[in-house]
Amino acid sequence: MSTVLVLVEHTDGELARTSRETLTLARNLTEPVEGHLEVAAVGTWSDELRKEAAAFGVTAVHTLEHELLDADAPPAAVAEAVRQLMGVVTPSVVLGAASERGTPSFAHLAARTDLPLAANCTAVETVDDGWELTRLRWGGVLYEDAHLDAEVALLTVAPHQIAAVPATMPGPAELEPFTPELDEALTVARPVAREALSGGISLATAPVVLAGGRGMGSAEAFAVLEELASLLGGAVGCSRVATNAGWRSHNDQVGQTGTRVAPDLYLACGISGATQHWVGCMNAKRIVAVNTDAEAPMVTRAHEAVLGDLHEFLPALLEEVRSRKGG
């Protein structure tokens, strides 16, 4: 009976969305062979988290416990802890999200285990001589079918590509603390501070994203998007042009070199829709483009478009939202 091990992330007492997606894909690897789905996690593990993991069919939760493994644990330390855990649970596959934390952790893990790493997977199937994979390449603009032959498969799962679905049969998700042997040298590179998000809503997880590009014309023009975002419970994003112009922080940039988002609604205002930007927003459930150019790539790819001056449309939209909110 094989074991599939998933490195999960959690924040504020909940599993990260990307970890739920990863667990869904991982479960598909265990069900055909009646294998074990086990997870490794850094940080305090609550009973609510255990129940959430159980809902996804997890049989065991290995809590990585060490003074060097806190909420800001460096990737090298996390990778070494997982490497040591692999020697105990002997998994056939180890997965994690291709996230801000997961990607560097798995790069370190591959180096420490001398195993090949397949990144940004969207589908995995076990075959007699290894694994058949589909993964995103070239910034998400194409899919690649590949074969992986390795003693143990190391995989990261592309965010927003798999619908997170709980298991039909919950697992026991038994807590099994694991204390690795770690050296201080593993912490030479680590976060030293975090800046709180305005309004507390992350661009990566916001249900509504209101993004502006060159057509906004100035930093001041983003004020209307800020107010709309506060009314709709969303976040403000921008194109690379807007951040290069100094109108918005790079933290707000949506795209291949920025943040990839998958909101329920993506409102693209004055954004032409170059490939670099499109790969960052293409997983949105609904894309609405506001532009004067009917031939702009963002307009032709959007689900709906408003052809007109955004400086007339956005104030009118804001007024309508205010009235419906009773403000």
pLDDT classification of 116: cutoffs 50, 70, 90 = very high
- In this chain, the answer to whether the domains covering 3-187 and 198-325 adopt an identical fold is yes
Closest C-alpha among 251, 261, 259, 268 to residue 213: 268
pLDDT score at 34: 67
CB 15 within 8 A of CB 49: yes
Domain ranges of the chain: 3-187, 198-325
pLDDT score at 215: 96
pLDDT single digits (tens) 91-110: 999 999 998 899 999 999 99
Average pLDDT over residues 284-307: 96
pLDDT score at 118: 96
Identify the sign of the CA torsion 177, 168, 29, 142: negative
pLDDT score at 8: 96
Checking if the pLDDT of 138 tops 80, the result is: no
Phi, psi of 49 (to 5 degrees): -65, -40
Amino acid at 237: G
- Domain formed by 3-187, architecture: 3-Layer(aba) Sandwich (3.40)
Checking if the pLDDT of 78 tops 90, the result is: yes
Percentage of the chain modeled with pLDDT above 70: 95
Q: Say which residue, 253 or 34, is predicted with more confidence.
A: 253
Percentage of the chain modeled with pLDDT above 90: 72
- What mean pLDDT, rounded, does the chain reach? 91
pLDDT classification of 31: cutoffs 50, 70, 90 = low
Q: Say which residue, 196 or 279, is predicted with more confidence.
A: 279
pTM comes to: 0.76
Q: How many CB atoms lie within 10 A of CB 298?
A: 27
CB 62 within 8 A of CB 8: no
DSSP β-ladder status, 10-11 and 60-64: unpaired
Q: How many CB atoms lie within 10 A of CB 267?
A: 28
pLDDT classification of 137: cutoffs 50, 70, 90 = confident
57 CB contacts (<8 Å, ≥6 apart)? 23, 27, 30, 37, 166, 167, 169, 170, 171
Checking if the pLDDT of 246 tops 70, the result is: yes
Beta-bridge partners for 5: 38, 94
pLDDT score at 52: 94
CB 211 within 8 A of CB 310: no
In the chain, how many H helices and how many E strands?
A: 9, 16
Amino acid at 117: L
Estimate to the nearest angstrom the gap between the alpha carbon of 279 and the chain centroid: 14
Question: CA–CA separation, 269 vs 215, rounded Å?
Answer: 7
- Domain formed by 198-325, architecture: 3-Layer(aba) Sandwich (3.40)
52 CB contacts (<8 Å, ≥6 apart)? 14, 15
